[in-house]
Amino acid sequence: MTETPKTRFTPRIFSGIQPSGGLTLGNYLGALKRFAALQGGPAQTIYCLVDLHAITVWQEPDKLRRNIREAAAAFMASGVDPQQSILFNQSQVSAHAEMAWLFNTVARVGWMYRMTQFKDKAGKNTENVSLGLLAYPALMAADILTYQATAVPVGEDQKQHLELTRDIAAKFNHDYGVEQFPITEPLIEGVATRVMSLRDGSKKMSKSDPSDASRINLTDDADAIAQKIRKARTDADPLPGSLDGLKDRPEAKNLVNIYAALSDETPDQVLARFEGQGFGAFKPALAELAVAALEPITRRMNDFMADPAEIDRILGEGAIRADEIATPILERTKEIMGLLRTRP
């Protein structure tokens, strides 16, 4: 028996954001800011607006189109350069859907039912949710592996999905005796990969929270940003000199982490500067920093949104570039599985 030769995968980073509207500070610090920073490195960067994931629950079509463009504007306003990176929306590259079906035959039903996000979204209504909501982790795996991505920047709450992607890749490679897909590595870095609610430090900042005061939206103006930070829940104790002192103070820890992420410092560096001070001093400093960082992004987003045709053009060009990578990988996968290709 001859030994299967090792495959050298091109270093590629892939990630995506669901265009469901209402991007927040959490999306910026946990994703968009990091995406921009990864450009120009040794790995090719591919970023996707995962609109096929969005329609696992019903979407109003005109609103979805706007949300896709708004998300693209947020990527670019945050520093993602469509010339350095590939930026596109998922539904324009049909290889994603085709590869997802192939992975539906590899993944096991039990894997899908164990996914925490499915349990959270479906609740007790599992019989009436869309089949797509159950199966979409296979589409997520397809998003990544269609480009043979070697790394994916993820937050702590997304690790389970990447583990499933790794399981699908490993099972495919084992079942067919090939090394078609890499075992994609997570990129978990930074001090604010999981930004928490301004009203409850135990919950993630989310656009679905009923209270708008719980989050900073990327569309908020300077006054709204400053006011939300001033009203953010904290405690009466002064700030300690190190992060260990915030172990049982989730709201305080969240604000310090946000400051550190916006200023590109460590939390301990921030605390060394504010040690012994209360939030009466810290919150104004954080508000000033947040406004300085986010107001230009909001302004650039508005500029991009004023020309939707240009956004569509950029996404279309990105889709062509993405398709050039994805199609050969998809065709090779089908060939491995024994599917005939009769068209030239």
- Find residue 13's DSSP bridge partners: 45, 151
Q: What are phi and psi of 276, to 5 degrees?
A: 85, -10
Q: How far is CA 247 from CA 39, 150, 242, 254, 269, in A?
A: 34, 34, 10, 11, 16
Instruction: Verify whether residue 207 is a known catalytic residue.
Output: yes
Q: Which listed residue (6, 63, 119, 121) is catalytic?
A: 121
Angle ∠(8,12,16) on CA atoms, nearest 5: 145
Answer yes or no: is 143 a known binding residue: yes
Reported as type and span, the H/E element at residue 152 is strand 151-153
Torsion of CA 23, 24, 29, 31, to 10 degrees: -20
Q: What are phi and psi of 56, to 5 degrees?
A: -65, -20
Q: What are phi and psi of 90, to 5 degrees?
A: -50, -40
- Closest Cα to residue 110, out of 171, 155, 152, 53? 171
Answer yes or no: is 42 a known binding residue: no
Sign of the CA dihedral 30, 36, 37, 41? positive
Using N-to-C axis directions, what is the helix angle for 279-305 and 250-263, rounded to 10°? 50
Q: Which listed residue (33, 204, 228, 283) is catalytic?
A: 204
Answer yes or no: is 148 a known binding residue: no
Answer yes or no: is 81 a known binding residue: no
Residue 178 is classified by DSSP as S
CA distance 57 to 40: 36
Q: Which listed residue (171, 207, 253, 334) is catalytic?
A: 207
Answer yes or no: is 212 a known binding residue: no
Answer yes or no: is 203 a known binding residue: no
Maximum Cα–Cα distance across the chain: 73
Please name the residue ranges forming H helices in the chain.
25-27, 33-38, 51-54, 61-77, 95-104, 109-113, 116-122, 131-145, 159-176, 222-230, 250-263, 267-274, 279-305, 308-336
Answer yes or no: is 202 a known binding residue: no
Answer yes or no: is 157 a known binding residue: yes
Answer yes or no: is 19 a known binding residue: yes
Instruction: Verify whether residue 204 is a known catalytic residue.
Output: yes
Instruction: Verify whether residue 119 is a known catalytic residue.
Output: no
Answer yes or no: is 204 a known binding residue: yes
Answer yes or no: is 253 a known binding residue: no
Answer yes or no: is 26 a known binding residue: yes
Sequence ranges of the binding site for L-tryptophan: 143
Give the residue numbers of the binding site for ATP.
Answer: 18-20, 26-27, 155-157, 195, 204-208
Q: Which residues are catalytic?
A: 121, 204, 207
The binding site consists of: 18-20, 26-27, 143, 155-157, 195, 204-208
